[in-house]
Chains A and B, each alone.
Chain A
Amino acid sequence: MLDLATQASLLDIRNVCRSFPKGSGADLLVLERVDLTIHAGEIVGLLGRSGSGKSTLLRIIAGLIAPSSGDARCRGETIKGPPNGVAMVFQSFALFPWLTVLQNVELGLEALGIDSAERRTRALAAIDLIGLDGFESAYPKELSGGMRQRVGFARALVVHPDLLLMDEPFSALDVLTAETLRTDLIDLWIEGRLPIKSVLMVTHNIEEAVLMCDRILVFSSNPGRVAAEIKIDLPHPRNRLDPTFRQLVDSIYARMTQRAEPKTPAIEGIHGTGVGMILNHISSNVLSGLIETLAGPPYNGHADLPVLANHLQLEADDIFHLGEALQLLRFAQLSEGDLMLTDAGKRFAHLETDARKKLFAEHLLNFVPVIGLIRRVLDERPSHTAPAARFRNELEDYMSEDYADETLKTIVSWGRYSELFAYDEQSELFSLENPH
């Protein structure tokens, strides 16, 4: 292992901000004043919810997008375009389907202008290292997901980068495959066989971060900034069932549920100001199912999030979305990594379909300002119809187009379930024409 203190920093991020143009008016701030330094010999994790800007930060470091302000340096040089000595592994693998495994791995070397003999030697060595022997002449579509991501790793390692960037590299794989790949990678890392100095990985999987990283930066959302830095001193190989491991995971869950609150301003009880709230699309079926699960044994209205996530086979990110939706609707309360049903939530669990819809509608009107607004507009207009564009524009004052789309989709789906209003997809019109 390398001695951290004597090494100069590989990567220096100072005060980096990044904003994107929004549907209307001012830009949307995604990253706010982020600082990050990476030294040789460490694995650093960027952990955060989707939309916390961690992927944006990774792309700034990879030189794929430029920061709006601040200073990003790699090995002392300002990053303008993809820096030398940095290679990236993609969530979607990003393999060229018309190139064989060998050709895919050689691609990065060809771009560097390395002659064919050395190219071949190095590519075969990387393929060997990552356990792809025998697959050299296969095309990506002939491989399983795990094997494809191995090609992704080989392609990145073959250029012998100082810094390896990984963008949620295991999230497109099934649980077993992901675990094998993680362990293989960590084994190679601690044996010092990887031709790299440091790793920076983006993830929203808390356990994965604790399992692999020496240091975790926890990001908060809207705008993304570093909320906490956690050092993990556990020796490799780490055991998920180790009490210290569990404790770390629990504490990160707790920290992340704390930080989730600024996203839902209406919680403070100020009605009418929360129109710009981002609503993640969660089906009313899933919400009902979750409430029933929480109400029944063994939880009896109170669940530990990591346990619940494990039970439901959900990623941390998904369970946060669910918990937040319930919290927003006042069917449950999130705090310190726990999820507790409110009285309304308990009542909901025992109601029949129609009564549930009534209760759901009541809560929507009271606690989701934008739905209240739509209903008011529909009631006031003599035609009892309103185009979706009217509300979309309003949403886009607060959020990006993608989020506005997602929020609108949620509104439509919840509105339909609660029978508060109807929506015609073709004419993009809200109306009160629910056939009663």
Chain B
Amino acid sequence: MAFQDFRPAALGQALRPNIWDVVALILVIGAMVLIVYGGEQTTAPLSALEVTPVSLDPANLPLYALRTTLRMLLAIVCSIIFTFAYAALAAKSRRAEMVLIPLLDILQSVPILGFLTFTVVFFMNLFPGRVFGAELACVFAIFTSQAWNMTFSMYQSIRNVPKDLEEASLSFHLSGWQRFWRLDVPFAMPGLIWNTMMSMSGGWFFVVASEAITVGNTTVMLPGIGSYVALGIQKQDLPAIGYAILTMLLVIIAYDQLLFRPVVAWADKFRFEQTASASAPDSWMLDLFRRTRALRALSVPFAALRRAVSNWQIAWPARLKLKMASRGSGPPSRLVDALWIALVIAATGYAAWRIHRYLSATLGLADLLAAVGYGLITLARVVVLIALATLIWVPVGVWIGLRPKLAERIQPLAQFLAAFPANLAFPVFVVVIVRYGLNPNIWLSPLMILGTQWYILFNVIAGASAFPTDLREAAGSFHLRGWRWWIKVILPGIFPYYITGAITASGGSWNASIVAEVASWGDTHLTATGIGAYIAAATETGDFPRVVLGIAVMCILVTLFNRLLWRPLYAFGERRLRLG
């Protein structure tokens, strides 16, 4: 074995279990049992859902939480596999890149619940009469809320692998496959993990929204926290909502402590820096597993297997090799490029024509204008909300960020709040709006930003904490105070961080609009005018052409909004205001 001749003395000891082994073993077996138990439920026939419908008995909540968690887990696994394949293909093949990257950009701006409408029918037909089909549709919806930013992150990392490491791996004859596992993946790891965590946070929102699916006449309620909440709203059961919120709280804490902390602490070694950082992230869970003896010894064969797999001698079209060949014999084949581009254009044209035919069969210009009008109303809502959130959270974030002790305590809280599915809090708003007779067009709007405003807060806190002390001291010694201090000192200092947070918040708000512009409490249905409500209404009546139109309009608006506002601001911040 690989480790034997390295530390032979330690081996005898390594096999004797210690106390940590017992704890770790219980955790591992427990996780396995839960996964199997949860998995068994999904093979039940669809009729089982009618025999034992979702009930509001709090005793069922642990099981519901488990089912919801497993869906999340499955979705994140799918997202990771998708990310590896898609990002690798886009980064390694120039022709694939031409199509895949713009496509990803669009996919990112498609409202997630839009996917649900189309896929639920497809997946239900795939496994007729089985719960499994509906489960897959739900998992797919969560997947679509997670995958894109992870893929982007990985693609960008692979494209930015340091030149010297690339040369070293070529020079030492690493095959394309080896290079992928030894260089590309480790280098992409920190960014990927961070994005996975962000995706997970977003995912909770959509898992809750997508468990109770209604498309036209089909209504499926998968056992889970989301369905529980949906039922609670239907039955106007406020205590049930409270239980659900509490359960969700516990689930998110467990996820954070048992899964993400250990992963982040473990992945610290992949951070690409040449000096050791002052404070490395730590996790009690990871420490626990690192202290085990027998389990670690058992893991050695797995590590060896992983090594063996990553050492497979599979040839891979490495970019540099392509360059190598092409430099010798002229530029890459123009003819093939031209054919490829022609093919892409033809496919796009055909798709455009099909869409036009499909939509124009039932919809006219008036419908288009109406949809665009609704889109602009939602746009106005997003802009106003981001502005309001900025006014509130930037000063608060700066205030917290400049106090390191406080920031240390608040930061995890803000991240936690971002992960908390805000739709659980919707019923409370609805009750208040109904009781006081408020205008839903105004008062439903805050729901859109309820979950996403925290991104602004924790990014601003991060920015303010990273603000160099010497600059603060310089500002102090020149007696810069009040407005001048805000405009000349701190706002430029936190700008890049703020923009990152605002982009995330704005994207999240668009997505949330489908859920947030329509809210109900028992028989009371509140609707705000906007593209989100438009899509939601069309989905409910099974009016597919309008769903397509609504999603297309939203997609275009989001893309334009990003291109025309956020990207230039982001570029400006990175170029002019990035400190250090």
Contact = CB atoms under 8 A, between A and B. Distances in A.
A224 interface: no
Interface in A90-107: 90-94, 96-99, 102, 107
A176 interface: no
A38 B178 CA distance: 32
A97 B270 CA distance: 7
A111 interface: yes
Interface string B134-166: 000000000000000000000000000010110
Given A108-B172, A113-B311, A141-B276, A90 B167 contact: yes
A229 interface: no
Contacts of A94: 162, 164-165, 167-168
A110 B172 CA distance: 9
B327 A64 contact: no
Interface stretch (A7-15, A80-88, A191-199, A248-256): A80-88
Contacts of B165: 94, 96
A120 B5 contact: yes
B233 to A, nearest CB: 48
B186 interface: yes
A424 interface: no
Interface in A67-83: 68, 80-82
A410 to B, nearest CB: 21
Contacts of B175: 111
Contacts of B173: 82, 84, 108, 111-112
A121 B321 CA distance: 32
Interface in A116-143: 116-117, 120-121, 136, 139-142
B477 interface: no
Contacts of B311: 110, 113
A303 interface: no
Contacts of B471: none
Nearest to B167: A64
B271 interface: yes
B273 A97 contact: yes
B165 to A, nearest CB: 5
Nearest to B275: A141
Contacts of A426: 576
B183 interface: yes
Nearest to B187: A98
B182 interface: yes
A93 B162 CA distance: 12
B324 interface: yes
Contacts of B170: 63-64, 81-82
B568 to A, nearest CB: 13
Place the interface of chain A in its size category. 35 or more
B6 A120 contact: yes
Given A65-B327, A113-B313, A107 B171 contact: no
Contact of B186 (A93, A96, A112): A96
A31 interface: no
B554 to A, nearest CB: 34
Contacts of A88: 167-168, 171
Interface string B260-284: 0000000001111111100000000
Interface string A344-383: 0000000000000000000000000000000000000000
A111 B324 contact: no
Interface string B406-417: 000000000000
A342 to B, nearest CB: 41
A141 B274 contact: yes
B33 interface: no
Contacts of A64: 167, 170-171, 320, 324
A67 B271 CA distance: 35
Given A66-B328, A96-B182, A110-B178, A140 B274 contact: yes
B301 to A, nearest CB: 13
A111 B304 CA distance: 15
B171 A62 contact: yes
Contacts of B323: 65
A63 B328 CA distance: 12
Nearest to A119: B2
A416 B275 CA distance: 37
A92 B273 contact: no
Nearest to A91: B164
Nearest to B324: A66
Nearest to A158: B172
Contacts of A80: 324
A65 B313 CA distance: 22
Interface in A387-436: 426
Nearest to B572: A426
A47 interface: no
A159 interface: yes
Interface string A299-316: 000000000000000000
A426 B568 CA distance: 13
A98 B311 CA distance: 17
B174 interface: yes
B272 A97 contact: yes
A434 to B, nearest CB: 23
A98 to B, nearest CB: 4
Contact of B171 (A66, A87, A112): A87
Contacts of A142: 276
A98 B270 contact: yes
B58 to A, nearest CB: 46
Contacts of B313: 113
B191 to A, nearest CB: 14
B327 A82 contact: no
Nearest to A140: B274
A117 B171 CA distance: 23
B161 to A, nearest CB: 11
B131 to A, nearest CB: 42
Contacts of A140: 274
Given A65-B327, A94-B168, A141-B276, A111 B174 contact: yes
A66 B183 CA distance: 23
Interface string B46-68: 00000000000000000000000
- Chain A CB within 10 Å, residue with most, of B172, B304, B320, B576: B172
Interface in B454-491: none
A82 B175 CA distance: 12
B168 A120 contact: no
Contacts of B162: 94
Nearest to B318: A81
B437 to A, nearest CB: 52
Contacts of B164: 90-94
Given A120-B5, A120-B6, A107 B269 contact: no
A388 B189 CA distance: 40
Contacts of B270: 97-98
B85 to A, nearest CB: 22
Interface of B: 1-2, 5-6, 162, 164-165, 167-175, 178, 182-183, 186, 189, 269-276, 304, 307, 311, 313, 320-321, 323-325, 327-328, 576
Given A64-B320, A90-B167, 20 more contacts: A65-B323, A66-B324, A66-B328, A68-B327, A82-B171, A82-B172, A88-B167, A88-B168, A90-B168, A92-B164, A94-B165, A94-B167, A96-B165, A98-B186, A98-B189, A98-B269, A116-B1, A117-B5, A155-B172, A159-B172
Interface of A: 59, 62-66, 68, 80-82, 84, 86-88, 90-94, 96-99, 102, 107-108, 110-113, 116-117, 120-121, 136, 139-142, 148, 155, 159, 426
Q: Which 4 A-B pairs have the closest CB atoms?
A: A94-B164, A108-B172, A94-B168, A98-B186
26 contacts: A59-B167, A62-B171, A63-B171, A63-B324, A64-B171, A64-B320, A64-B324, A65-B323, A80-B324, A81-B170, A81-B324, A82-B173, A84-B173, A87-B171, A88-B168, A88-B171, A90-B168, A96-B182, A96-B183, A97-B270, A98-B269, A108-B173, A112-B173, A116-B1, A116-B2, A120-B2
